Structure 1
């Protein structure tokens, strides 16, 4: 992995970690439906401009069923769940719950593709669950019963990502860019009816408007382009290592910008969740670094 790729990976983690900050700022004022409709529509328009520049035609009608499925489980539902949770939970908690998606993906694969969990993966699953319990248990104790539904929503969002990751293994072979572009338009279509039932709560301020724009264009549209560029240059496995960096930036942005407190439960829970995720996915930092060093030396 070159220095440029590493910087792209850090920027991607910063953008995706920042998405929880932007949702935290704007979710209460706009409500989950309006916020996410704005997010996916802005991202879809941004990707449309990129596709026009690249002269890429989106096979939207040809793969409409596929785009609707991935748009529902990979974008619409998890975004809505996180936006709902962002009205109560802080950005660091949201980002850590997001990082459990790989764990849920492994659990779902046991039933979906009959992929048995190894002893290492099973141990990682236990560690990850303990980390989540420590993290959300403390939040539940401090926030009271009102935290139960938001915490459940955050976990369900990660479960949705796990469903989407398993679905894509058997989905039609479509380019990553087209998958991102098509699923954003599908998500915009799916979320749109909710806007009429969960209307905007207050007129957005300049700060909220800028947060929504940043969420849609940068933390979604630009982030997807960075991710697909990394997949093309360093491979999907290496690009997915961003999962372990997102909570770092989620916690950092929450602390620096929103003055969120970093307690022992946040640090310890994060450590357990990320360790469990590494075990479940079979990710080894030492092997990752050594493989990249061998690639660089061979050039």
Structure 2
């Protein structure tokens, strides 16, 4: 059952989402060749706790770490390890935080050093598809409208859209209804109403849409070993339209990136 949120609940969720946003922003300047994921994971746990929240993923379903860190051909749910990142890698960092009883949960795929042009394009298209999908998350539309928009855009670039892993509702639980696939048909699925809150998260592969799982029970890989990209935002329907609860602005500030991609979805009172 979909849990509709009040304006007050949405503001509490924004607090949690912004802790995740700030955590990813802090990590942005630390992600470079030679650094390992375990070190970044420890930084993130300390940062989240220092901001009055609990790591949202640590211990959930027995996951052993604060961050899901998934480099290169890993799609999602990678377990941080001590292997140094290399120049040319990409790495998806998925982070959760729990504060005031509500979760924030979003992700960004970072470039490590100088990345190949075809990989840069995968990241660009995947992130663009996130906002294309968010634009469809409004009163009167349905789950299939978001999925169709993401799928159509990514497949038009020749990429594979993962089927087995999906976005989700968000609130007092990390995973609430409805499921939010990155594929679908227009006009199908749950209808969107005022006060719905979801995590939309395209997981897009350079090659095949097919995936496989490592024996660790967590890590998901592309079946063909080609790179995968993953971007995720927390979004609420406010006054009939999608409004971001999370932001990549802290990442962009750290990396010196100037963009207006979030402006149409941004809360007018969002503060740094």
**TM > 0.5 fold call:** no
- Give the structure with the larger helix fraction: 1
Larger RCO (CA within 8 A; separation ≥ 6): 1
When normalised by structure 1's length, the TM-score is 0.32
When normalised by structure 2's length, the TM-score is 0.34
